[in-house]
Amino acid sequence: MNPAEVLILSIVEGITEFLPVSSTGHLILTAFLLKIPQSNFLTTFEIVIQLGAISAVLVIYGKSLWNNLKLWPLLIIGFLPSALTGLLLYKFIKKYLLVNPFIPVITLFIGGIILIFLEKFLNKRKRELSIQNLDIKKSFYIGLFQTLSVIPGVSRSAATIIGGMIFGMTRKSSAEFSFLLAVPTIFGATALDLMESNFQFNASETILLISGIILSFISALIGIKLLITFVERNSFVFFGIYRIIFSILFYILFLK
């Protein structure tokens, strides 16, 4: 990987991590377009640079998280399903799911249809639940939704936001809980990958990883602000349409 590729991948990660469009799916397809050879380091890079994204969450929501200790059990419970799934399927995910561009194209398309359908359906339901009123049981169920995101293209953000809305949370509260739930989830995924890799990176690879984390942090700050501003006034139908169009065009232009 060269510096230009690191820059592009990091910006894509930061901007898309918290949007319901799948950052992992976009990273896989971006790497495919850039013709970056598949390697263990590439998949590790795509996972590790997410640390920049959760750092952005801590900068924006760290004070609220620290001042509201009641949130911690909710986040831990919500994280457990993904933690178990990641531990059980880690090798399969890294060896098969993160290297095939057809998978995110398919799931982006299907996810777009589901996002539009659920948004239309959920708009008819009354949703007043805030993060402060969320209980352990509902947090666990939202965590179950998050496990779907092990499939590239599903989108961790979309899965958790939709899960939150299904259980009565407002769109903004669902998005903010999704941001916070990303902290233990992404940290856990990164820690697991680094341990499996035995931290065996040369000096050049280490510099690329650190650069990627910093760049994704900067772009994630922008991504979070954009999403919060957007959801206060709009539904997620726009993202569903984007997923469908993007997946169709990518297939026709680059995979067919």
Q: pLDDT tens digits, residue range 66-82? A: 888 889 999 999 999 99
What pLDDT was estimated at residue 242? 96
What pLDDT was estimated at residue 124? 67
Helix, strand, or coil (residue 153)? coil
Tokens of 2: 């060269």
What pLDDT was estimated at residue 13? 96
Q: Which residues of the chain have pLDDT under 50?
A: none
52/49 Cα distance (integer angstroms):
6
37/142 Cα distance (integer angstroms):
35
Q: Cβ(182)–Cβ(174) under 8 Å? A: no
What pLDDT was estimated at residue 172? 86
What pLDDT was estimated at residue 160? 95
- pTM, two decimal places: 0.93
